[in-house]
Each structure stands twice: as structure tokens, then as C-alpha cells.
């Protein structure tokens, strides 16, 4: 994933800000993660798809049915996310895409695991929604609306494959240093763009694409 700095000033000018830091106070208490602490997880900056893949690998096979990889993007590949570490002193960052892990438990609020957020790891879905997707008192222009491709953990582990070429500039240099582990490359196939795509007809046999309203309705505990 790459920060879209060229769009930041335009997006910021379109927002109707009432209280830009109000969302920081909406975060609930930390919950005990089964993967250990954030520091215990494999992490490479700007390679969220691989970070989540390696989180999925740690989920016991018998428990994988309730875990999902979630790609966040839109048709323009320019999505605002709040409370991201990469935003620095700014309240939000614009990514071309982002990937998180979601855990859905029967009768309980879903949880989000995001290694790039300042929010707790994990956060309840509702706390993450308020803190990262739709903070209170922000009006986000429609063209920056987020879509969500939800992929079962087992299918993500089976089908995702990337040669990391999307993280190279035109001159061949790395936009961000690659992870120190081997690429997740299966039979030379590079299909990351299919996962980033928010076309519901793409990967429809293993995933579903939801808009913001449907995503919130499906996983919110409210």
C-alpha cells in the first residue's frame, strides 16, 4: 500500500471538520489478542497484505472459519483512514488500499486486527469503525467512499499470491523496503490486483465486496 500524498490536501479541503480529534476518545479498552501483542506479530511497513497473510497463518485451522482478510479500497484507489500510524500529526492518511483481519464471533461484536493503526490491537468492530472509518463529526466526500472485499481466512491463504512488483517505482527501486521473509508467490502468479479491485465480479467465488453501509450492517454490534 502507498500513501496518496498528492490527494491529501484536496481531500482535507473537502472535509467538514467539527472536532478533528473526537474519535480518539471513542476507543474501547484493549482486548487480549490470541496472537500475542502487536510487537509479537510479523510486520513490514506498507505490506499490509502480507502482514495479514502471516496473521492468518497463525490462526489454528479449527478456528479459521471465523476469521477474514479484508481489503479496503475504491475504484480510484484513494481511501482515507483515520488513526493510522503513517498519518503522523495529521488525523488521517490516504492509502491506495489497506488490509486488516476481521474476526466474527457468534453473538458478539466482531473484532478488527490492524497492525498499522494507533487504535488497540485488536479493536471491536464498532470502535474501529468510529476510530478509523467514520469518525463522528466528519463528512467524507462520496468519491472517497470505502469498499471492503471480505475473504475467508482459509481462502486468502490458498489463493493470494504476490510478486511485490506493485511496490516498485518505474525506475525499479522499491517504494518501501520489502519484508525480510520470502514473497507469498504461488506458481509465479501475481494476483494482488484482483484482491485490491472492488469489482464484485472479481474473485466472486471466494469473496464478497461490500460498501460502507453493508459492511457496517453486517458486522456492527449496535
Residues marked as catalytic: 48, 98, 114
Alpha-carbon torsion 221, 121, 134, 20, what sign? positive
Residue 45 pairs with which residues in a beta bridge? none
DSSP state of 3: B
Judged by DSSP in three states, 195 sits in: helix
Contacts of 220 (CB under 8 A, 6+ apart): 109, 110, 125, 126, 129
Matching residue, cell 490516504: 94
Contact 122, 100 (CB under 8 A): no
Amino acid at each position: 500500500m502507498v500513501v496518496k500524498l498528492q490527494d491529501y490536501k484536496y481531500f482535507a479541503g473537502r472535509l467538514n471538520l467539527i472536532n478533528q480529534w473526537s474519535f480518539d476518545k471513542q476507543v474501547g479498552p484493549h482486548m487480549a489478542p490470541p496472537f500475542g501483542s502487536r510487537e509479537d506479530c510479523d510486520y513490514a511497513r506498507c505490506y499490509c497484505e502480507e502482514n495479514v497473510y502471516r496473521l492468518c497463518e497463525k490462526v489454528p485451522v479449527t478456528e479459521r472459519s471465523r476469521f477474514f482478510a479484508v481489503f479496503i479500497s475504491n475504484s480510484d484507489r484513494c481511501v482515507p483512514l483515520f488513526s493510522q500510524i503513517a498519518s503522523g500529526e495529521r488525523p488521517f492518511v490516504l492509502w491506495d488500499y489497506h488490509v486488516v483481519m476481521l474476526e466474527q464471533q457468534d453473538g458478539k461484536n466482531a473484532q478488527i486486527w490492524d497492525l498499522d493503526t494507533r487504535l488497540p490491537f485488536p479493536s471491536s468492530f464498532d470502535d474501529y469503525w468510529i476510530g478509523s472509518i467514520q469518525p463522528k463529526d466528519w463528512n467524507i466526500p462520496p468519491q472517497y467512499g470505502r469498499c471492503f472485499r471480505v475473504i475467508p481466512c482459509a481462502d486468502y491463504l490458498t489463493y493470494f499470491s504476490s510478486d511485490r512488483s506493485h511496490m516498485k517505482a518505474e525506475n525499479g527501486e522499491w517504494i518501501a523496503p520489502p519484508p525480510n521473509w520470502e514473497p507469498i508467490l504461488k506458481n509465479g502468479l501475481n494476483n494482488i490486483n484482483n484482491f485490491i479491485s472492488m469489482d464484485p465480479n472479481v474473485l466472486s467465488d471466494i469473496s464478497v465486496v461490500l460498501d460502507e453501509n453493508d459492511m457496517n450492517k453486517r458486522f456492527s454490534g449496535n
